[in-house]
């Protein structure tokens, strides 16, 4: 009898072992383990570029705020703690998905001032004047971030506006301990701050900044108090508006009080596509990122990437060839839809994408000089920051926001304490002449008063089987699109966890210049040799992108991916 009993128990152990093994192995797909750990949470998650800002967002979620409430608070907190890109003097894009699956996008991209003109950065000979669109008062578009946050809160927010702005006030007034990364960036930019801001001492100290130093920004705190108490009017009218205009006049800038009063963000319908059963929800123009991302996914969908493997020879070649063609299209067809009829439907037709890839050959690289923007019938920042947020109900927000270059134009608004953007460089100063990221533009992205400049920002949300699957985005100028693209592939095709997908080394190609930039050790030496043998020019790049993303696992947990390339932080509860 005892022997019989032992056999039953042994059988049960074997069955239990096999059951556990099954759940572990199936749960490992996309890193979706069936047990909670320090990376997985039930009630919400914030992933953004600075730890103090992430904590602000998490605190808002814990107080009963939704994802949009947390996003507003994080946006303002990043202005204080991540001045390289966090801002009230810039703009950006938001992709929103409600817990019920309804989607919306908010365009709070900057606009050209009323005094802007197509040839404003050209000399008498018609040549582009170096740095005029980057480090002068004429480089700034009309900021959209404050209006964007007001509109987002008005439509979707739950908590009081003042409660969302207050954490930024406290961070600015009481100060916060800076990280090694921020100290290094402040020291590196000190000479430019000093040169471009006579009589101002914002972000400048005697000697060098060091990790752990406390950064206090009293004037910025006062600006936030006006925004807290007066909302939109606290920035686009009154004292702050007067300070902006005075700053413009001091450097022959173009922005006026009328430009500020007339600025309004715009709600736009998301553009969507499908990739192997996953629904991609992303940003429409004037972001080029959404269309480019969907084109890239269409271009590679029929190929066996999973079998080829992460960053292997065939995978790299296919991705590079797709990127070259998509960036060529970007140069001609994408711009502000309020000023230019962007052929969205034509660009996203599968037949068109297939035709673009039809001259791709495995025998040799396609020279970028032989690639031109496609044709069809019936023609119709480096320094940016991204944050991804999901709340306990499943509402999700993906926001990318920017000043364009690191610390924008490097010019502060005297008295207000915040940095101005240099987004005017994202316009095409002259057809065929690259901007600071090497991107080529044409008539679709020409400078016009009141027009929004083209952007590469690609905030994106992914669904699987009608349910939230991923929230993703990144800074990185022209590399934003390819970084988001490769992160999505890392999860879907290569079964990487969210953190692994974000950490994985990346590569980038953008049509012109005719090269493939690669992070160190992203591609093994043997594969590099094969690629060079086929005619690909490989150049090494320090880092590419800083992706912040959230995955909803099959077990219902939120799993974050915070990019180790910066101070990016993931917090959940």
Active site residue 103: no
* 510 belongs to a structural domain: yes
Checking if the pLDDT of 471 tops 80, the result is yes
* 38 belongs to a structural domain: no
First to last CA, the chain: 51
Paired residues of 46 in beta bridges = 389, 571
CA distances 572 to 80, 104, 309, 459, Å, are 22, 24, 31, 20
Instruction: Report the DSSP pairing between strands 507-508 and 467-473.
Output: unpaired
Determine the average pLDDT of the residues in 165-177: 98
> Do 281 and 227 belong to one domain?
no
* 139 belongs to a structural domain: yes
How far apart CA 174 and CA 367 sit, in angstroms, is 55
pTM of the full structure:
0.91
Percent of the chain topping pLDDT 90: 85
pLDDT of residue 441: 56
pLDDT of residue 383: 73
Checking if the pLDDT of 466 tops 90, the result is yes
- For 134-162, the DSSP string reads TSSGGGPPBP-HHHHHHHHHHHH--S-HH
> Do 191 and 316 belong to one domain?
no
How far apart CA 153 and CA 163 sit, in angstroms, is 12
Checking if the pLDDT of 382 tops 90, the result is no
Q: Are the CB atoms for 36 and 557 separated by under 8 Å? A: yes
Q: Which of 30-39, 72-81, 149-158 has the lowest mean pLDDT?
A: 30-39
pLDDT of residue 20: 42
Contacts (Cβ under 8 Å, ≥6 apart) of 542: 519, 520
> Do 357 and 225 belong to one domain?
no
Strand locations in 126-270 (E): 176-177, 214-215, 266-268
Residue, of 472 and 9, whose pLDDT is higher: 472
Q: What is the pLDDT of residues 103-114, one digit of tens each?
A: 999 999 999 999
Tokens 């480096």 map to which residue?
382
Q: What is the pLDDT of residues 388-412, one digit of tens each?
A: 999 999 999 999 999 999 999 999 9
> Do 88 and 167 belong to one domain?
yes
Paired residues of 272 in beta bridges = 281
Contacts (Cβ under 8 Å, ≥6 apart) of 506: 479, 482, 483, 486, 519, 522, 544, 545
Determine the average pLDDT of the residues in 2-19: 42
Checking if the pLDDT of 5 tops 60, the result is no
Checking if the pLDDT of 440 tops 80, the result is no
Q: Are the CB atoms for 210 and 225 separated by under 8 Å? A: no
**ω before 241 within 30° of 0 (cis)?**
no
User: Which of 184, 190, 187, 220 minimizes the C-alpha distance to 78?
Assistant: 220
| Catalytic residue of the set 179, 223, 353, 384 | 384
CA angle 399, 68, 179 (to 5 degrees): 55
Provide the H-helix boundaries in 251-367.
Answer: 257-262, 289-300, 305-308, 313-333, 344-347, 350-356
> Do 260 and 291 belong to one domain?
no
Determine the average pLDDT of the residues in 62-79: 98
Q: Which of 15-24, 186-195, 335-344, 455-464 has the lowest mean pLDDT?
A: 15-24
A 10 A CB-CB count for 42 gives: 13
* 390 belongs to a structural domain: no
Checking if the pLDDT of 1 tops 70, the result is no
> Do 21 and 167 belong to one domain?
no
pLDDT of residue 99: 97
Q: What is the pLDDT of residues 179-215, one digit of tens each?
A: 999 999 999 999 999 999 999 999 999 999 999 999 9
pLDDT of residue 428: 86
Three-state SS letters, 450-515: CCECCECCCCEEEEECCEEEEEEECCCHHHHHHHHHHHHHHHHCCCCCHHHHHHCCCEECCCCCCC
Checking if the pLDDT of 551 tops 80, the result is yes
**Phi first, then psi: what are they for 66, rounded to 5°?**
-95, -175
pLDDT of residue 31: 36
DSSP structure class, residue 32:
-
* 47 belongs to a structural domain: no
Instruction: Report the DSSP pairing between strands 278-282 and 40-41.
Output: unpaired
How far apart CA 251 and CA 101 sit, in angstroms, is 47
A 10 A CB-CB count for 362 gives: 10
Q: Which of 14-23, 26-35, 171-180, 462-471 has the lowest mean pLDDT?
A: 26-35
> Do 290 and 370 belong to one domain?
yes
> Do 295 and 355 belong to one domain?
yes
User: Which of 468, 480, 454, 470 minimizes the C-alpha distance to 547?
Assistant: 480
pLDDT of residue 371: 77
Confidence of residue 379 (pLDDT cuts 50, 70, 90): very low
Contacts (Cβ under 8 Å, ≥6 apart) of 249: none
What residue numbers bound the domain in which 16 lies? 2-31
Tokens 């480090």 map to which residue?
135
Checking if the pLDDT of 374 tops 70, the result is no
Checking if the pLDDT of 447 tops 50, the result is yes
Checking if the pLDDT of 69 tops 50, the result is yes
CA distances 64 to 112, 391, 392, Å, are 38, 9, 9
Tokens 């020879």 map to which residue?
313
pLDDT of residue 439: 55
Give the DSSP H/E element, type plus range, for residue 60: helix 51-62
Residue, of 10 and 415, whose pLDDT is higher: 415
Q: What is the pLDDT of residues 490-516, one digit of tens each?
A: 999 999 999 999 999 999 999 888 999
> Mapping DSSP to helix (H, G, I), strand (E, B) and coil, where does residue 174 land?
helix
User: Which of 457, 453, 352, 332 minimizes the C-alpha distance to 402?
Assistant: 457
Checking if the pLDDT of 35 tops 50, the result is no
The CATH number that applies at residue 312 is 3.60.20.40
Tokens 């910025």 map to which residue?
220
> Do 327 and 184 belong to one domain?
no
Using CB atoms within 10 Å of the CB of residue 521, give its burial: 0 to 12 exposed, 13 to 18 middle, 19+ buried: exposed
* 45 belongs to a structural domain: no
* 397 belongs to a structural domain: no
- How many domains are there within the chain? 3
Checking if the pLDDT of 263 tops 90, the result is yes
Determine the average pLDDT of the residues in 523-545: 96
> Do 417 and 488 belong to one domain?
no
Confidence of residue 298 (pLDDT cuts 50, 70, 90): very high
Q: Are the CB atoms for 221 and 172 separated by under 8 Å? A: yes
* 138 belongs to a structural domain: yes
Q: Are the CB atoms for 24 and 34 separated by under 8 Å? A: yes
Q: Which of 28-42, 162-176, 413-427, 436-450 has the lowest mean pLDDT?
A: 28-42
> Do 103 and 149 belong to one domain?
yes
Chain mean pLDDT for the chain: 91
> Do 183 and 274 belong to one domain?
no
Adjacency order of strands within the sheet including 538-541: 507-508, 516-519, 538-541
């Amino acid at each position: 009898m005892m022997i019989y009993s032992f056999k039953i128990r042994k059988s049960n152990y074997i069955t239990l072992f096999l059951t556990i093994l099954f759940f572990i192995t199936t749960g490992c797909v996309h890193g979706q383990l069936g047990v909670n750990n320090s990376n997985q949470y039930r009630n919400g998650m914030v992933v953004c570029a600075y730890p103090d800002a992430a904590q602000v967002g998490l605190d808002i979620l814990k107080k009963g705020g939704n994802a949009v409430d947390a996003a507003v608070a994080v946006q303002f907190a990043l202005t204080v703690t991540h001045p390289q890109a966090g801002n009230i003097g810039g703009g950006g894009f938001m992709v929103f998905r409600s817990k019920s699956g309804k989607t919306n996008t908010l365009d709070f991209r900057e606009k050209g001032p009323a005094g802007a003109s197509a040839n404003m950065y050209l000399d008498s000979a018609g040549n582009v004047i170096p740095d005029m669109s980057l480090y002068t008062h004429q480089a700034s578009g009309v900021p959209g971030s404050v209006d964007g946050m007001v509109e987002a809160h008005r439509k979707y927010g739950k908590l009081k506006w003042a409660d969302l702005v207050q954490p930024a006030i406290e961070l600015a007034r009481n100060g916060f301990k800076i990280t090694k990364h921020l100290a290094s960036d402040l020291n590196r930019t000190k000479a430019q701050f000093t040169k471009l801001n006579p009589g101002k001492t914002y972000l400048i100290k005697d000697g060098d900044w060091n990790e752990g130093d406390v950064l206090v920004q009293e004037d910025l705190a006062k600006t936030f108090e006006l925004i807290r108490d007066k909302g939109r009017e606290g920035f686009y009218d009154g004292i702050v508006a007067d300070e902006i205009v005075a700053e413009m006049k001091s450097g022959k800038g173009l922005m006026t009080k009328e430009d500020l009063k007339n600025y309004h963000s715009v709600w736009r319908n998301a553009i969507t596509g499908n990739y192997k059963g996953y629904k991609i929800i992303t940003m429409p123009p004037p972001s080029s990122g959404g269309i480019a991302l969907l084109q890239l996914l269409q271009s590679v969908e029929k190929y066996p990437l999973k079998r080829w493997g992460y960053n292997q020879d065939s995978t790299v070649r296919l991705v590079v060839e797709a990127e070259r063609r998509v960036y060529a299209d970007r140069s001609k067809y994408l711009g502000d839809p309020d000023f230019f009829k962007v052929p969205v439907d034509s660009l996203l037709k599968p037949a068109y994408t297939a035709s673009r890839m039809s001259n791709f050959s495995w025998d040799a690289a396609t020279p970028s000089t032989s690639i031109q923007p496609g044709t069809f019938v019936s023609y119709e920042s480096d320094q940016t920051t991204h944050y991804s947020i999901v709340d306990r109900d499943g509402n999700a927000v993906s926001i990318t926001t920017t000043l364009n270059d690191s610390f924008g134009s490097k010019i502060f608004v005297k008295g207000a304490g915040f940095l101005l953007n240099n987004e005017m460089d994202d316009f095409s100063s002259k057809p065929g002449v690259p901007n600071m990221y090497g991107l080529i533009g044409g008539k679709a992205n020409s400078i016009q008063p009141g027009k929004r400049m083209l952007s590469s920002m690609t905030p994106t949300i992914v669904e699987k089987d009608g349910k939230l699957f991923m929230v993703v985005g990144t800074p990185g100028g022209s590399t934003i699109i390819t970084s988001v693209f490769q992160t999505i592939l890392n999860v879907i095709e290569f079964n990487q966890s969210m953190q692994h997908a974000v950490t994985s080394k990346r590569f980038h190609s953008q049509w012109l210049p005719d090269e493939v930039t690669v992070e160190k050790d992203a591609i093994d030496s043997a594969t590099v040799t094969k690629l060079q043998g086929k005619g690909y020019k490989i150049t090494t790049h320090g880092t590419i992108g800083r992706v912040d993303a959230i995955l909803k696992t099959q077990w219902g947990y939120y799993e974050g991916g915070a990019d180790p390339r910066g101070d990016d932080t993931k917090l959940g509860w």
